[in-house]
Structures are given as C-alpha cells and as structure tokens.
Amino acid sequence: MSVAQNAFAEMPQDTAITDAAASFVETVTFADLPDEALRIGTRCLVDAFGLYAAGSEEHSVHILADEAAETGGRGDALVLGRPDRVPAAMAARVLGTAGHAHDWDDSQVSVDPAHIYGLLTHPTIPPLTAALVMAQKLGRVSGRDFMLAFLTGFEVECKISEWMLPRHYMQGMHSSGTVGTFGAYAAAAKMLGLKGDKLRWGFGIAASLAAGIRCNFGTMTKPLHVGRASENGVTAALLAARGFTADPTALDGPWGFMAVQGGGASPDKIAQGFGRTWTIVEPGVSIKPYPCGVLTHPTIDLMLRLVTEGDIAPDAIDRVTVHAGTNILKPIRYPIAANHLQAKFSLPAALSMIALARKAGKREFADAFVASPEMQAMQRRIETRLDPDIEAQGFDKMRSRITITLTDGSEIAGWADERYRGGPENPLTDGEVEDKFRSCCDGVLDAGEQQALLARLWSVLDSDDAGALAGLLYGKAGA
C-alpha cells in the first residue's frame, strides 16, 4: 500500500455520517427525547448557568465582551456582563468562552477501552450556548423547543467524538473546540428549522471552521476554543440558512473531517447511529466537582481522602509522589503552576490546594491563591512519575496512586477510585449540583437572584420564552 493510500486506510469507505447527522437533526422531535435525557440535560443546564456566572468574572471574558460591545452590530442577543446586544455569533463567542473558562464544565463519558479521556468533549457548553443565543435572536422559543435543540446538538457532538479514532486528540487537536462546533451547529440549525441541502451545507461549513490545538492549554485561548466552537456553529447555521454552500458530505470520505482531523472513524460505532441510544444517558456524562481537567479529579479525591483520614497538616508533608500513566501526565503538563490557568493542568497545583485548604474550588483556582508563597512552596514538594504498570493497563480509566512521605519518615499511600466522583457510576446529587451552582455564582448573584434563576432552570420545560433565562443572569454577571 502506498503512503498516500495508507493515510486514509482507517476511514471506512462509503460512510454516510453527514447524511445520518442531518436526517437526525431534521426529524428528531421532543417526543423522541427519553425522560432520562431530559432529567440529565436539565442538571447540565443548571451546572452550565453557574459556569457562565463564574466565567463572567474572568479577565479573558471581559476582553471578549469589550471587543463584542465595541464591534457592535445587529442586536440579536445580550453580551454576558453588559447591557449591549450584538449579533448572535459574537454573543456566543463570549458566552461559550465563559462557560469553559474554569474548565469546570461537564465531560462526555466512553466505555471504549481504546479511547483516551482527552478525545471526549465537554459536551454541554457549545450546543447550549448556541441554543441560548438563538432563542434570544428568534424570540419566544418555548422551553421544550430550547431543550430539544440543546439535546440534539449534544447528541451529534458526542457521537462524532465517540466515533473518531483517538488520533484526533493524540496529534494535538482539542475536541471540545473542534467537535464542539458540530454540537453548536446542530443546536442552531434545529432552532432555525434547516432542512435538506441547507442543513447538509451547514455541516460542511462547520467542518471547515472547526479548530483548536492543545498547545494552548493553560492559556486564555483554551476556553476560547469552546467560545469559537459556539460562535462558529451559529455562524454555520446562519450562513447555511442564507444558502451559503459547502460540501454536503463533509464528515465523510478521504477529505472529510473524520479522515483529515481524526485519522478515520470506527465502522462498528458508526452503526450506532444518532439518537437510537442517547449518549447523555448511556454511557452518560460527568458533572465535574473541580474546576480543572477531569483527568486530575480521581487523584484530587484521593489526596483529599488521605489528608483527611490521616489528619495531615501541611507542615507535616515532606513530599508527595503521584504515579500515573501518560494519558494523565501528558495533558496535565505543568510541574509548577504560576497562575490559575496553568493550575487547571497541574497535578502539583491541585494537590497543593488540597494539602493547604482541603478543597479546590473557585477561590483556590484563583491567581492570588496559586501564586501565594505557600502554594508555590507546596508544589515543589509534589512530584509526578510515569508508572509502567498503570500505563500497561490502558487509557480507558483514569488510574493513579499517591504516596505521601511525612517529615517523620512515615508514609501514607493509596489508589484513586476509578469510579470517579461526578461520573455516571458516582454522580453528584441534585443538591450537590445546586451547591456547585451557588459557589460559581458567589460574588456575581446574591442569594435571592440565585434562587430565582435556579427555579427557572429546573422548570425550563414549562417556560414559554427560554431566551428570557439570559436576562436573569446577563444583566448581573460581570457587571
């Protein structure tokens, strides 16, 4: 086989992924949504609105909001944290970035042992953002239509991510930025009622706009990937609605998205189809307890258990050794975090928070806390090591172990629970999701405003104007 032929050897021939995705978007109805998908989707909605509030405090989001307001244009939707209204795509850029700014948004789950967690998306923010700005643009969108659009985009995004080969992530692409574009597009297209050629052209437009590379992890541009996915999905839908053309089979073939960006797709998985089983239900979604990469979460929980059960004071710690595989150690790449953005991809930073404060939330993932002398000193006592035995077990689970060596020479050690907290096997309760929402909104909304927004979010299906949800948050967030 020639080099040219081998480049596309893993892309199944004669696939019809684009057509299947378009047919799903065009035909799926509210009656097709499983009750469990609606239940979990509403939890994701509550979680995401808290994250929008938390993200509204970020300097990166302020920059984007200022740029959007100064650029101006058609008044489709509110800009997060400002009274200005701007074109829908521009509003989506700001809002989507805010939703991912803390790296606290939910994560797609897979049971494929060949997968690595980084390949999977943060599925909620792109389609939800697209649905929310389009609901404002269109006006008087019911809560049922709003949730249908959101969950349609969620399903399209997750299936594309699941079907692609791991090469997409391993060669440096950021799936939430790339595949998230299709989730945002599908949600916006559903709200616009796109059909036929226009719907398929929109997938082609989205395929050429999808972008995001992992070198920007730990910088403002990492959450911008999700902001741009939200923006580009809306842009693709609006352009397609005007008749802007693109390849109507852009997910398929040797020059399609799956081959070019992913190295191919799994033919067995493609046979799953869209909406036969809903990914949000099976295998599910993880709502994150910590504002950092999900790959760190089992290790953070382990550190919390060890220091709590052993009642270990910070001064009693001589050193901490974390053993893990490359699926964790490569993307979680900062040995010493200088700021909160780097801390989201640093095991020494996250574990230092636990050692010092026994928690790792919005307050701890702040520049002032991360840069403090205590945090900088504690990070230098924490070392990560590649464990060949863990590596040999594969990348389907987030496996790690910790050894804490105390100043008296004794050791305390343990293994992380593979049933990580927040995942489908060990989910946060509704009360814990609300607690997370409130912690995100702290300093942005007062207690009464938080409760009013929560009530509207939990009862979203009864709403006759889902776009009005923005008004309960946007006028306050970041103001």
Last residue within a domain, chosen from 415, 442, 464: 415
**Which of 396, 415, 434 is a domain's end point?**
415
Separation between Cα atoms, residue 411 and residue 444, nearest integer Å: 43
User: Does the pLDDT value for residue 397 go beyond 90?
Assistant: no
Give the span between the Cα atoms of 470 and 97, in whole angstroms. 16
250 and 235 within one domain: yes
Q: What CATH number is associated with residue 137?
A: 1.10.4100.10
Domain membership flag for residue 202: yes
Residues 6 or more apart whose Cβ sits within 8 Å of residue 3: none
Question: Does 189 share its domain with 50?
Answer: yes
Residues 270, 300 within the same domain: no
Residue 440 inside a domain? The answer is: no
Stretch 188-206: mean pLDDT, rounded? 98
Q: For residues 228 and 418, which has the higher predicted lDDT (pLDDT)?
A: 228
> Is residue 90 in a domain?
yes
* Same domain as 311, residue 245: no
Residues 363 and 411 occupy one common structural domain: yes
State how far the Cα of 335 lies from the Cα of 417, in Å rounded to an integer: 23
- Which residue has 């059960």 as its token pair? 309
Is residue 401 helix, strand or coil? strand
Query: Would you put residue 263 in left (φ > 0), alpha (ψ -120 to 50) or beta?
Result: left
pLDDT in the model for residue 81:
87
Lookup result for tokens 């269109």: 138
| Dist CA 255 CA 132 (whole Å) | 32
Number of domains in the chain: 2
Cβ atoms 286, 388 nearer than 8 A: no
Q: Name beta bridge partners: 413.
A: 403
How many whole angstroms from its chain centre is CA 424?
Answer: 16
Cβ burial of 272 (10 Å; 0-12, 13-18, 19+) is middle
The phi, psi pair for 317, rounded to 5°, reads -90, 120
- Are both 16 and 121 inside the same structural domain? yes
Mean pLDDT of 146-175: 95
In this predicted structure, what is the pLDDT of residue 3?
A: 33
Residues 269, 128, 418, 291, CA torsion sign: positive
Instruction: Please state, in angstroms and rounded to a whole number, the distance separating the CA atoms of residues 338 and 93.
Output: 27
> What is the dihedral angle through the alpha carbons of 175, 181, 182, 183, rounded to the nearest 10 degrees?
90
Q: How confident is the model at residue 119 (pLDDT cuts 50, 70, 90)?
A: low
pTM: 0.91
Is residue 5 scored above 70 in pLDDT? no
Domain that holds residue 246: 3-289+453-474
Asked, for residue 436, whether it belongs to a domain, the answer is no
pLDDT of the residue at 169: 87
Mean pLDDT along residues 330-335? 91
Give tens-digit pLDDT for 265-317: 998 899 999 999 999 999 999 999 999 988 899 999 999 999 999 999 999 99
**Where is 188: in which H helix or E strand?**
helix 180-192
User: How many CA atoms lie within 13 Å of 272's alpha carbon, on the beta-carbon side?
Assistant: 20
Residue 392: inside a domain:
yes
**Do the domain assignments include residue 383?**
yes
3-state secondary structure of 56: coil
Query: Residue 328 is encoded by which pair of tokens?
Result: 């964790």
Instruction: Verify that 102 and 138 share a domain, yes or no.
Output: yes
Helix (H, G, I), strand (E, B) or coil at 391: helix
Contacts of 306 (CB under 8 A, 6+ apart): 312, 402, 404, 412, 413, 414
CATH of the domain at 378: 3.30.1330.120
For the chain, the average pLDDT equals 93
Is the Cβ–Cβ distance between 186 and 25 less than 8 Å?
yes
Asked if residue 191 belongs to a domain, the reply is yes
Structural domain ending residue among the three candidates 398, 415, 432: 415
Burial class (CB in 10 A: 0-12, 13-18, 19+), 383: middle
Dihedral sign of CA atoms 25, 27, 31, 35 in order: negative
* Tokens (6 digits) for 27: 């035909």
Asked if residue 324 and residue 376 are part of one domain, the reply reads yes
Tell whether the model's pLDDT for residue 2 goes beyond 70: no
Q: Are residues 299 and 265 in the same domain?
A: no
Distance CA 466, CA 49 (A): 13
Question: Distance between alpha carbon 129 and the CA centroid of its chain, in Å?
Answer: 12
Query: Is 9 a residue whose pLDDT tops 90?
Result: no
**DSSP string computed for 92-136:** HHHHHHHHHTTS-S-EE----TT--GGGS---SHHHHHHHHHHHH
Tell me, yes or no, whether 361 and 232 share the same domain.
Answer: no
pLDDT of residue 365: 95
Cα 48 to Cα 27: distance, rounded to the nearest angstrom:
27
3-state secondary structure at position 400? strand
Q: pLDDT-based confidence at 160, cuts 50/70/90?
A: very high
Give 118's pLDDT tier (boundaries 50, 70, 90).
low
Burial class of residue 338, CB neighbours in 10 A (0-12, 13-18, 19+): middle
233, 267, 241, 262: which is closest to 119 by C-alpha? 262
- The one-letter code for the residue type at 375 is M
Residues 253 and 382 in one domain: no
Calpha distance 438→444 (Å, rounded): 10
Q: What is the mean pLDDT of residues 374-384?
A: 98
Does one domain contain both 116 and 175? yes
Q: Is 437 part of a structural domain of the chain?
A: no
